[in-house]
Amino acid sequence: QQQVKQSPQSLIVQKGGISIINCAYENTAFDYFPWYQQFPGKGPALLIAIRPDVSEKKEGRFTISFNKSAKQFSLHIMDSQPGDSATYFCAARHGGTDKLIFGTGTRLQVFP
Amino acid sequence: EPEVTQTPSHQVTQMGQEVILRCVPISNHLYFYWYRQILGQKVEFLVSFYNNEISEKSEIFDDQFSVERPDGSNFTLKIRSTKLEDSAMYFCASVSQLTGELFFGEGSRLTVL
């Protein structure tokens, strides 16, 4: 119930293409869903986040789509660039705690 | 831009030795965390700390682990007697009260031989 399932494990996209990463959860008490971007040798950095009262949030080329009834959320990266190549983690936070539960990560490679 | 800083960036130690990892959270942040990431795996919560005490800990955070805020700025993670399976990247993080965003440091890589 505390898990966040993430797919795919790895993703290869051509420059200019759309990258889509999916996550699913079971615990309906989760109330905050961030996406983190991690470059090799660096700590995770917050990319974009959403709360369950909103179905979509867009920031530049990054969009989160949130489906509360299906308990799924996804990250879309439009016009993917080689500089987007990194590992992406979805996460969720239980309303009653302050810890984040991370997904298993998706290694994105964008080729020119 | 303020950032969470961690030292050392890499530490190699022998099994059974004590290790202290240090963090300076962003000033005026009040909640602090340690997470760890075993190579190639997901980021896992270890412990959260508020008002000079542990507010939550995971099952990973057993008696071999302890945290401390010795002087009002540093936040440390101590592993009393390291095991091979403690080899991982350890990330310190702190939360902005304003935005709720979690800011991570660049991590301390621990290698236990």
Q: Which two tokens stand for residue B22?
A: 């240090």
Q: Beta strands B108-112 and B10-13: pairing type? A: parallel
- Model pLDDT for residues A17-74, shown as the tens digit of each residue: 999 999 999 988 899 999 999 998 889 999 999 998 999 999 999 999 999 999 999 9
By Cβ distance, the residue of B31, B42, B91 closest to A105 is: B42
Are A76 and A105 contacting, i.e. CB atoms less than 8 angstroms apart?
Answer: no
- Model pLDDT for residues A54-67, shown as the tens digit of each residue: 999 999 999 999 99
Q: Which two tokens stand for residue B75?
A: 């936040």
Amino acid at site B83: K
Q: Residue B47: what pLDDT?
A: 96
Is the peptide bond between B8 and the residue preceding it cis, with omega within 30 degrees of 0? yes
Q: Rounded to an integer, what distance in angstroms lies between the CA atom of residue A108 and that of residue A38?
A: 10
By Cβ distance, the residue of A41, A42, A89 closest to B43 is: A89
Q: Residue A1: what pLDDT?
A: 63
How far does the CA of residue B50 sit from the closest CA of chain A (Å)? 10
Does A41 contact B41 at a Cβ distance shorter than 8 Å?
no
Single out the residue of B12, B23, B39, B17 nearest to residue B103, CA to CA.
B23
Does A34 contact B102 at a Cβ distance shorter than 8 Å?
yes
Is residue B4 predicted with pLDDT exceeding 90? yes
Q: Rounded to an integer, what distance in angstroms lies between the CA atom of residue B100 and that of residue A96?
A: 14
Does B104 contact A43 at a Cβ distance shorter than 8 Å?
yes
| B12-41 mean pLDDT | 94
Is the peptide bond between A8 and the residue preceding it cis, with omega within 30 degrees of 0? yes
Going along chain B from its start, the domains and CATH numbers come out as: 5-101 (2.60.40.10)
Task: Kindly identify which residue of chain A lies nearest to residue B107, measuring between CA atoms.
Answer: A43
Q: How far is CA B9 from CA A48, B40, B83, B105, in A?
A: 27, 18, 19, 10
CB contacts of A104 in chain B (<8 Å) are 41-42
Q: Is B113 on the interface with A (CB under 8 A)?
A: no
Does B91 contact A34 at a Cβ distance shorter than 8 Å?
no
Residue B112, strand partner residues: B13
Going along chain A from its start, the domains and CATH numbers come out as: 1-62+87-94 (2.60.40.10)
Does A42 contact B106 at a Cβ distance shorter than 8 Å?
yes
CB pairs under 8 A between A and B: 52
